[in-house]
Amino acid sequence: MQYIKGKDRNQCTLFSLFLDEIIDPAHDVRFIELFAESISLPAFAFVTKQSPEK
């Protein structure tokens, strides 16, 4: 099973708004994002597949 990379949060939506603009700066999801980004997958013996360069 491959690691699933999330969508870019700066990506435009159907209504021409950015997800980063919709989510309140103090929303809990921002803390969760910081926590998730800080986790080192190789430190927990997860193997990630590198995407090919374009």
Beta bridge partners, 47, equal none
So where are the chain's domains? 1-54
pLDDT digit string, tens, across residues 21-35: 888 999 999 999 899
- Spell out where 1-54 has E strands: none
Whole-number pLDDT of residue 52: 60
pLDDT at 54 over 70: no
Cα 25 to the chain's mean position, in Å? Answer: 16
pTM of the predicted model as reported, rounded to 2 decimal places: 0.50
CA-nearest of 24, 22, 1, 2 to 11 is 22
Cα 38 to the chain's mean position, in Å? Answer: 11
